[in-house]
Amino acid sequence: MFYMGNREANYTTLLMATGLTFGTISALFGLQNKIIDQSQYTILVTVVILSAFVPTLIAQKFFQPTIETMVEWGKIYSERTNNRKPRQPAQTGK
């Protein structure tokens, strides 16, 4: 449907798997409802933010799409936005 290979799908998944929104909202909920205090809130938000780096580093190191793949995606996107039937992307990879 989106013409993504496994490598590119893993890259996107890892970049989106940070949990920043849920973690910060949960910590704020705990602070506002006096479940945790300010120092615990600070520690939790710091850990949530720092934990976003791990999946990002993994994604960049092992799953980052090649330039050729990005060019192919750009062509497919252009075709889709011009109401033409998209073609299958060329198989690229390392």
Number of H helices, E strands in the chain: 5, 0
pLDDT of 8 higher than 70 = yes
Provide mean pLDDT across the span 65-92: 74
Predicted pLDDT at 43: 96
Is the pTM above the cut of 0.85? no
What share of the chain in percent tops pLDDT 70?
Answer: 82
What tokens were used for 21?
Answer: 């929104």
Average pLDDT over all residues of the chain: 81
Side chain identity at residue 82, one-letter code: N
Q: What is the CA radius of gyration of the chain?
A: 19
Q: How far apart (Å, rounded) are the C-alpha atoms in residues 22 and 8?
A: 24
Of the candidates 90, 91, 93, 86, which has an alpha carbon nearest to the alpha carbon of residue 1? 86
Number of CB atoms found within 10 A of residue 27's CB: 21
**Residue ranges of domains in the chain:** 6-81
Provide mean pLDDT across the span 50-72: 84
